[in-house]
Amino acid sequence: LNLELNINKIAFTIFGIDVYWYAILIVFSIVLALLIYRKKDGQYNIKYEDLLDLSIILIPISFISARIYYVIFNIQNYTSLRQIINIKDGGLAIYGALIGGIIVVHIYCKVKNIKLLDMLDYIVLAIPLGQSIGRWGNFINVEAYGINTDVAWKMGVQVRDAIEYVHPTFLYESIATLIIFFILIKKSKNRRFSGEVTYIYIILYTFVRTIIEGLRIDSLMFYNLRISQILSIILCTIFCIILTK
């Protein structure tokens, strides 16, 4: 689009501590999600107070599991614990966050005697919005972009001493997840059964991710397989079957 941007990963420094845009966007997403949940207080018989109690455990565990998932499939790039825990430059996988998050929600609902699918429907609404915002952290970090292309909306990135034009896959996913967010808002108002909103999110996101993952150059790999793409295809198929039963 003939725009030239040079954005520093560090937004500002306070008391000698660098604050990264990536972290700011993540925190902003969390705050925005909590505001959305506050407005939805009581929906599906879920109390906002229960969501806040759950968040104390859910948020850190989701970050940890997102990092573990990413590191496992990139283990060759890490030689020390310090590198593993350093997320300033990114390195969080949404599927890891979802896996860890679902485990925490399941345990919490068991303990509090809350219907799991109702809690998931309550929580899932804000997830695609957070993903949409978070992808701009990938843009600032110059990551999660795609293969070379000459399409009109191509993005130029500095690779060593040359500029390469690539698919802005971060943007594709940001737009797609924002659309999913609005679809879920509408569906959440007239869901037909517990879990429907969650199932629709999984189907829509995994479908989108399957396509976009095929364009990315930094996919997490297991031998010659793109892990996120394979997982997306499996989940999309399973939940399409569940939803159409």
User: Which pLDDT belongs to residue 226?
Assistant: 93
How far apart CA 109 and CA 120 sit, in angstroms, is 10
> From residue 38, how far is each of 32, 177, 211, 222 by CA, in Å?
10, 21, 34, 40
Low-confidence ranges of the chain (pLDDT < 70): 1, 88-90
- Residues making up the chain, counted from first to last: 245
User: Which pLDDT belongs to residue 41?
Assistant: 95
User: Which pLDDT belongs to residue 53?
Assistant: 95
> From residue 140, how far is each of 8, 10, 91, 93 by CA, in Å?
7, 9, 13, 17
User: Which pLDDT belongs to residue 1?
Assistant: 67
How far apart CA 229 and CA 224 sit, in angstroms, is 12
Q: What are the tokens at 76?
A: 């060759």
How far apart CA 221 and CA 160 sit, in angstroms, is 23
User: Which pLDDT belongs to residue 7?
Assistant: 85
First to last CA, the chain: 45
Tell me the three-class secondary structure of the chain, residue by residue. CCCCCCCCCEEEEECCEEEEHHHHHHHHHHHHHHHHHHHCCCHHHCCHHHHHHHHHHHHHHHHHHHHHHHHHCCHHHCCCHHHHHCCCCCCCCHHHHHHHHHHHHHHHHHHHCCCHHHHHHHHHCCHHHHHHHHHHHHHHCCCCCECECCCCCCEEEEECCEEEEECCHHHHHHHHHHHHHHHHHHHHCCCCCCCHHHHHHHHHHHHHHHHHHCCECCCCEECCEEHHHHHHHHHHHHHHHHHHC
pTM for this model (two decimals): 0.91
The answer to whether the CB of 112 falls within 8 A of the CB of 154 is no
List of residues 6+ apart from 49 with CB closer than 8 A? none
